[in-house]
Chain A
C-alpha cells in the first residue's frame, strides 16, 4: 500500500515536475534573448568606470526547491555518492532566473549595463523535516548604470 502511494507520488513528481521545468526553461530562454543586449559583468570598481550619469543597486532573488521525484533520486544518490544530476537543473534555473530578475529590473530602470555582479546561494530552511532538498535562495545583485 505504501509502495503504491510512493510510486504515485514519484509519478506525479516526475511528470508534473518535468513539465514545469520545460516551461520554465522556455520562459528563461525567451527572456534571456530579450535582455541579451545589456551586459552583465563581474568586474566594476577597478575598471575605468563606464560612462554614465546614474548608478543604482539591483537585486534579483528566487527561492527554488525540487519535486518529489528529484528528492527521492537525490536521497538514493546520497547513499551512492557522486554527481547529483537531478538538482543541477534546479539550481541552473534558479540562478538564471535570479540574474534575469535583476537584469529586468535594471533594464526597466533604463540601465545600459550591470557591473560588479555577485551571486549568492543560501539554504533557507528545509521541507519534510531535514530530508531532501532544502529550499534554496539564489540571489544576484549588481550595480546598474545608465
Chain B
C-alpha cells in the first residue's frame, strides 16, 4: 500500500506507512522496534519577519510562515522515517507532532512514533 501522507510525497521512504493509530488497519504488527523521532529547528529570516509584520496589520494567513513550517515539518517526518528505515520498519504508528519555540524567531518541529513491521 502506497502512503498518502503529503509530507511523504518526494520522500526516499515513501513506502513506509505512517498512522496516528495504534496500528495499521487490516494489517498485523509482527515486530516493533521502539521509538523513532525526527526533529528540525528552523529560523525565519529578517525579510520574512518584515513581510509578516506588514501582513499582521491586516491579519489572515502568513503564507511565508506556513510554507516555512510545512517545509520544516516535512524534514522532521523525513528524519523520523530515516530512523525507521535504519531499524528495518515498514510502518510508523501512533505518530505525534510537537512544535515549540526554542529561541526568538526559531521553532522546533518534532515528530515521533513507534517503528513497527506489519504484514
**B residues less than 8 Å from A44 (CB atoms):** 22
In the complex, how many angstroms separate the beta carbon of A115 from the nearest chain B beta carbon? 9
Q: Establish whether residues B22 and A84, one from each chain, have CB atoms under 8 Å apart when the complex forms.
A: no
Which B-chain residue is minimally distant from A76 (CB atoms)? Answer: B43
Q: Establish whether residues A87 and B34, one from each chain, have CB atoms under 8 Å apart when the complex forms.
A: no
Instruction: Count A/B pairs, Cβ under 8 Å.
Output: 117
Q: A74-B43, A81-B44, A95-B37 are in contact. Are A121 and B106 (CB under 8 A)?
A: no
**Chain B contact residues, majority secondary structure:** strand
Q: Beyond A43-B114, A47-B23, A95-B37: 19 further Cβ-contacts under 8 Å?
A: A39-B34, A40-B34, A41-B94, A42-B113, A42-B114, A43-B94, A44-B22, A45-B22, A71-B103, A74-B43, A74-B103, A78-B105, A81-B48, A84-B43, A84-B106, A87-B41, A118-B96, A130-B104, A134-B104
Q: Establish whether residues A43 and B23, one from each chain, have CB atoms under 8 Å apart when the complex forms.
A: yes
Q: A82-B43, A83-B42 are in contact. Are A41 and B114 (CB under 8 A)?
A: yes
Which A-chain residue is minimally distant from B45 (CB atoms)? Answer: A81
**A103-138: which residues lie under 8 A (CB-CB) from chain B?**
117-123, 126, 130-134, 136
| A-to-B contact residues, CB < 8 Å | 39-47, 71, 74, 77-84, 87-88, 91-92, 95, 99, 117-123, 126, 130-134, 136
0/1 string, B101-113, CB within 8 A of A gives 1: 1111110101011
**B residues less than 8 Å from A40 (CB atoms):** 34-35
Q: Establish whether residues A136 and B102, one from each chain, have CB atoms under 8 Å apart when the complex forms.
A: yes
**A residues less than 8 Å from B34 (CB atoms):** 39-41
Give 3 closest A-B pairs by Cβ, nearest first. A81-B45, A43-B22, A121-B100
In the complex, how many angstroms separate the beta carbon of B59 from the nearest chain A beta carbon? 23
**A residues less than 8 Å from B112 (CB atoms):** 42, 119
Q: Can you name 10 A-B residue pairings with CB atoms under 8 Å?
A: A39-B32, A41-B32, A41-B35, A43-B93, A78-B46, A78-B104, A81-B68, A82-B42, A87-B41, A134-B101
